[in-house]
Each structure stands twice: as C-alpha cells, then as structure tokens.
Structure 1
Amino acid sequence: MTSAELEAARSGDEEAFASLVAPFRRELHLHCYRITGSVDDADDVLQEVLLAAWKGLPGFAGRSSLRTWLYRIATTRSLNALREQSRRPRSAPVPPFEPPTPNDRFDQPHLQPYPDVLVDELDPAVQAVARESVELAFVVALQRMPPRQAAVLILCDVLDFTVAEAAEMLAVGPTAAKGLLQRARSARHSPRSIASGARHHDLARKFADAFSRDDVDSVLELLTDQCWLAMPPASELYVGRQAVGNFLRASAAGRPGGNYALVAVTAGGRPAFVCYLQGRARGLLVIEPTQTGDKIASIMRFLDDGLHRHFGMPDFLD
C-alpha cells in the first residue's frame, strides 16, 4: 500500500480501493468463515465488510495497519451475522423415505465445509495455518463457543493479533479480552493432522466405491465402532456403526433415482465428495479418517444442493 494509493481510494477511486484491499480479500473471507461456520455467510459478510471499508475509508486515521482495521470490520460484521443466524433458522429438506430414529442431535444447522481450492489461493506462507483452522472438528468447536470467545481465540491463536488488538476489535477492555481468551482456550479443540498419502487415498477410494454402490456392509467395515453420521442442516445424529448402518440401509431402500455418483474434492483438509443423483448435484459428503488413516471416524453429509459451486463443480454431470 502506498500513501498515494490510499489517498486516491479515500477520494473515491474504486480501482485504487480494489487494489488496496485485494491482498486481504481471501484471508478476510476465511476469517468470516471461521466465525460464522458457513461459506455462504462468509460470502455475504465479506461483501458487507468491503462496503463498510469503502464507506469508512475517509475516516481511517492510520493508527493501526490497514489489515488490522479491515479485520476489526470483518470481526464485527461476522458476529452480527451469527446473531442473524439465530433469528433465521435453516430448515432441513424432508427425506424421501422414513429414516430410523436418531440416537443423538447435531446442533449446527448452518455448518458448511470450507473448500481447499479456496485455501490454495492464499499466500503460501499462511496456507499451513489456514488449513488447520478450517478443519471441520475445529470449526464445530468454534461454533459451540460463545461468539466473542471464538472470535478472540481466532484473532489471538490463529491470526497472532495481541490481546490488546483483539480487545480493540471487539470493543472490550484488555482484561475482558484476556478472560474471554482463557475460557476459549480451555474449551478449544486443537486441529489434528491425519495420515496422508497412499493409505489416506485408498480409504477414500474404498468408501466412495462402496457408498456409490449402496454396499452398506462394505461401508460399515471402514468405520470405527463409534463412528457418527451428521447431515446439516438436519439435526439428526447417528452414533455408532449400527445406527449409521440402519440409516444407510433405509436411505438405499427408500431413495428414488438410483445410486449416487461421487466426485472427489477436498474440504477442510479432509476427503470429500460432491454427490450427484441422476446427474444432478445433491450436496456433499466429508469423511474424517482416524489418526492412522485406516478407518473413518465420522461422516458428514451436507444436504445443500448449492454447496458444490464453492468447489468449482458443475450443477449437472453428463
């Protein structure tokens, strides 16, 4: 950023403003996602952030860096979006079959996985941290925290802002911010690495092959005893191999339109598949391998027929 570019943007030069914020767009989008847990919401919030920055730039005094100023706006707008989420609950599609009774509940109807193709657009120096911080289990843990606790944890432990900087972004005192951070750290889920390479890919291949053939027995052989299946925005949660198997069998028997075709992508550093039914995109599957990579610890089936577009996949397959 040059002073001339900043002054031009302050004077209403849209090209200068676009150049000014371009280096931060992708990381701001990722920040909005971590707080909201939704790629769709992150898209919307980022547009609000850029509009607010455009309108507020004449008042930017330069007491902090432009990046810090933008993160303050993004944090505020993301927290506002979380409050909006609670006022507009997201409904789940009605299944075309009678599902078995779930044995637990999943409480994150707005959750969506973050596409690795978007992380690839970040500066290589920050990609490793970014990949860890979009791991689904970590994002779920953030969503279950009080929003300001999650925000201060992200700002300090993921983005390396100081407690004082985080306090200013959240419009709280440093002591309050420190307390929020301590409580968030005590509840945090640390991102974990999983096995990669041949074993990782072999597990994903076996799962995709069995799932696309509705070979439930072969799918179950790949699961741990305590594997669970969640289907945001639905609240049903099936825990344990038997419960997961009961749901998969009911789905295979009652689903109109034949079998799914799965197209491999990657979401939050995990094997994922866009699901196509009769050639039309019908949501996304993400599997969580165990630490060793030889079993599956969880399956998340996202019932959002527009989610594939974030991964650059077509609406229809030939």
Structure 2
Amino acid sequence: MSPITDDLHPLDEHAFSARVEPHRRELHVHCYRLLGSFDEAEDLVQEAFLRAWRRRETYAGRASVRAWLYRIATNACLDALDKRPRRPSTSGEVAWLQPYPDALLDQLPDRREGPEGAALAKETVELAFIVAIQHLAPLPRAVLVLRDVLGCSAKESARLLETTEASVNSALQRARGELRERLPEEREAWRPDAEPTAAERELLARYVDCTERADAEGTAALLHQDVRFSMPPAPGLWEGRDTVVQAWVDGGFGSDAFGSLRCVVTRANGQPAVAAYVRRPGDAAHEPLAIDVLGVRDGVVGDITTFDRSQFARFDLPAAL
C-alpha cells in the first residue's frame, strides 16, 4: 500500500486511484443533484477523476483531497451544463430525470468533517428537490447545493467555483427564492422519513394490490385529488386523479390485451417505489415494464414518476418473474 501523503503528484495511477476512489459515491450523488441524471453523473465523475489525475500536481494539501475533488467535479458539471444547456418544459417536467436507488444511497459516508465536508443529506435527493433545482440556472444551482446541501461557507463556495463571495451570495439568494416557489413552504412536507411509516407501508401494499389486480377504481382511491403523473423521458405531465387514472385506462390498464401484472417493492430517492412486471398474452413470464416512484402527501399518493424498464438493472431487480 502506498503511504499517505499530501502530495499526489508522485503517486502512480494505482496509488492515486486508491486515494480518490473512496469518494466516488458521494461525488456521484453530488453530480446527480446538479444534473438530475444518473447516467450523466457517472460520466461526469469519470471526467472529474480524469481531470484530477491530469492536474494532480496542482494539489498542494491546503484542503482535503475530498474538497479538491468536489471542486473539480462541480466545475466539470458546470462545463457540461454550459455545453448542453437545457430547461424543463413549460409544464415543469424534466425529460432527462432518472431515479437513484436507495441501495446505492446507503453507500454514502455518514460523517462530518466541518463545512467543507458536511454530511450528505439524503433528503436532498428526493425527486421533488431534484426536479425543483433543475429549474435553476447552473451557477445558482451549484451555489445552492454547495451552501445549503453540503454546508460550505460563502468563502469556500467562491473558491470552489472560482468566483467572488458577492457573486455566491447573490446567486444563493436567487436560488432560494425560486426554490421556495417550487417546493412546499414547510420542508417537512416534502422531506422523506428515514424509514417508512406503518401508514406508508399499508398504502404501498394497497397500491401493489390494486396494480396487480389492474383495479383502476381501487387505485384511484389511493391517489390525492391533485396527483401529478409523469414518465420521463416521455413528454407530458398529467394532473388530477381523474385525468391520471383515465390516461392509464386509455393506455390499456385493466384490459385483457394489456396482460397481467406483478410487482416488486423497492425504494428510490428516499421514496417508496414499485417495479411492475407484465406478462402479455402468450408470454411465458412477467417481463420488466416500469418503476413507479411515489411521493406521499396527506397520507395518499400525491406524485407518481414512472421510469421505463431500462432502469431495472440499476436497482438489481429480477430480469423476469
């Protein structure tokens, strides 16, 4: 094993990797917050590690390796956003949104190392938060994550972003103002609990039962009257219980031609999720269909974000049932 040193430049590639790899998961979550896409976050972490390797001689040990990597990763994300500018649709959906499995969030370190390394708040990967901050311009978005999620000071954020404290403070004020318009006033209204409550487990069991029985009326009873439903990357946002259920029925839900459904419960973004498998007429097994990530409001399902079968492997779900 290579000795620990504040100088990264003399380390060979293997030793350098050993120094930076322990930070991969939290950097990935950081990039995910900024980008909203699991796949793009993976690419940007790789880009950040490559930049770190190429610039290892610039690390002088004045800050932790972790803080140095955050600086590189943040700027890599900002560069990517500058090259591929995009905005959510006028109705608010984020076409590039992808889910983050809770099993991977469990790999996050539980530690505090002062402002530059504040413990990562898992509630800030909830889909409502991720969607909300995608509406922010890149710089205010990065400032908000650094200041309000990671706990960096204005001075530290300015150093990370290579800008001034005045610019950071101005960006943070703008970001907080816009975020207040897109999230409930009470943070607890959207912050997911660390563990599912008994009521949540019961609601989830009923949701699974109604889905497997293709019971549209029963499912409707579990939905908030103002429920919101989207299917990124497909365009469209459906709002209201009757509108959402009718959209499912129009898509074949409950019909013989649609086939039979089975479900597996999982979790994504700190929220309950249901992976649905379908067996079409003539098929031998139930094949992956979609993952519903559920947002619970007032004891019922208030938000449903549905992701296609391409996400199943990431959740380590069965290939078929």
1:196 shift after superposition: 3.1
Residue 19 of structure 2 corresponds to: 20
Residue 74 of structure 1 corresponds to: 73
Say whether the 8 Å CA contact 1:119–1:130 is kept in structure 2: no
Q: Once the two structures are aligned, what percentage of the paired residues are identical? A: 35
Say whether the 8 Å CA contact 1:5–1:16 is kept in structure 2: no
Q: Give the direction of change, closer, same or farther, for the CA distance of 1:275–1:81 in structure 2 (3 Å limit).
A: farther
Asked if residue 300 in structure 1 is aligned to residue 305 in structure 2, the reply is yes
1:317 to 283, 302, 320: 320
Q: For residue 107 of structure 1, what is the amino acid of its counterpart?
A: E
Name which of structure 1's ranges 257-266 and 216-225 shifts more when overlaid on structure 2. Answer: 257-266
Say whether the 8 Å CA contact 2:230–2:304 is kept in structure 1: yes
1:187 shift after superposition: 2.3
1:247 shift after superposition: 0.5
Structure 1, unaligned runs of 5 or more: 91-103
Residue 292 of structure 2 corresponds to: 285
Q: For residue 312 of structure 1, what is the amino acid of its counterpart?
A: D
Asked if residue 186 in structure 1 is aligned to residue 177 in structure 2, the reply is yes
Q: Give the direction of change, closer, same or farther, for the CA distance of 1:313–1:260 in structure 2 (3 Å limit).
A: same
Residue 11 of structure 1 corresponds to: 10
Say whether the 8 Å CA contact 2:93–2:230 is kept in structure 1: no
1:284 shift after superposition: 1.5
Q: Give the direction of change, closer, same or farther, for the CA distance of 1:22–1:296 in structure 2 (3 Å limit).
A: same
Residue 97 of structure 2 corresponds to: 111
> What is the distance in 2 between the residues matched to 1:56 and 1:162?
25
> What is the distance in 2 between the residues matched to 1:72 and 1:306?
31
Q: 1:38-53 maps to which residues of 2 (within 5 A)?
A: 38-53=37-52
Q: Could you list the per-position Cα deviations for residues 33-62 of structure 1 after superposition, in whole angstroms to 9, with x for gaps in the alignment?
A: 000011111111111111111111122223
Say whether the 8 Å CA contact 2:276–2:290 is kept in structure 1: yes
Q: Could you list the per-position Cα deviations for residues 87-136 of structure 1 after superposition, in whole angstroms to 9, with x for gaps in the alignment?
A: 7x99xxxxxxxxxxxxx844300111211111111123479843211011
Q: Could you list the per-position Cα deviations for residues 244-300 of structure 1 after superposition, in whole angstroms to 9, with x for gaps in the alignment?
A: 111111122579551332211101111112232333323321111115xx2111111
1:137 to 103, 123, 128: 128
Secondary structure (helix, strand or coil) at the match of 2:304 reads strand
Secondary structure (helix, strand or coil) at the match of 2:252 reads helix
Asked if residue 164 in structure 1 is aligned to residue 145 in structure 2, the reply is no
Q: Give the direction of change, closer, same or farther, for the CA distance of 1:255–1:72 in structure 2 (3 Å limit).
A: farther
Q: Could you list the per-position Cα deviations for residues 115-171 of structure 1 after superposition, in whole angstroms to 9, with x for gaps in the alignment?
A: 111111112347984321101111111111111111101101111111111112222
Say whether the 8 Å CA contact 1:261–1:277 is kept in structure 2: yes
> What is the distance in 2 between the residues matched to 1:208 and 1:81?
39
Q: For residue 13 of structure 2, what is the amino acid of its counterpart?
A: E
How many residues matched?
Answer: 299
1:3 shift after superposition: 6.9
Q: Give the direction of change, closer, same or farther, for the CA distance of 1:209–1:86 in structure 2 (3 Å limit).
A: farther
TM-score normalised according to structure 2 size? 0.85
Name which of structure 1's ranges 27-36 and 278-287 shifts more when overlaid on structure 2. Answer: 278-287
> What is the distance in 1 between the residues matched to 2:119 and 2:225?
31
Secondary structure (helix, strand or coil) at the match of 1:156 reads helix
Residue 245 of structure 1 corresponds to: 245
Say whether the 8 Å CA contact 1:286–1:301 is kept in structure 2: yes
Q: Could you list the per-position Cα deviations for residues 2-50 of structure 1 after superposition, in whole angstroms to 9, with x for gaps in the alignment?
A: 974454x523512211221133111101100000011111111111111
Structure 2, unaligned runs of 5 or more: 113-117, 280-285
1:213 shift after superposition: 2.2
Q: For residue 26 of structure 1, what is the amino acid of its counterpart?
A: R
Let me know the Cα RMSD of the aligned residues.
2.6
> What is the distance in 2 between the residues matched to 1:197 and 1:276?
26
Q: Give the direction of change, closer, same or farther, for the CA distance of 1:84–1:111 in structure 2 (3 Å limit).
A: farther
More helix by share: 1
Q: Could you list the per-position Cα deviations for residues 60-106 of structure 1 after superposition, in whole angstroms to 9, with x for gaps in the alignment?
A: 2233322221111111111233345447x99xxxxxxxxxxxxx844
Say whether the 8 Å CA contact 1:212–1:262 is kept in structure 2: yes
Secondary structure (helix, strand or coil) at the match of 1:117 reads helix
Q: Which has the higher contact order (CA 8 A, sep 6+)?
A: 1
Q: Give the direction of change, closer, same or farther, for the CA distance of 1:132–1:125 in structure 2 (3 Å limit).
A: same
> What is the distance in 2 between the residues matched to 1:261 and 1:247?
20
Residue 268 of structure 2 corresponds to: 267
Q: Show structure 1 runs of 4+ deviating over 6 A.
A: none
> What is the distance in 1 between the residues matched to 2:268 and 2:291?
10
> What is the distance in 2 between the residues matched to 1:59 and 1:163?
23
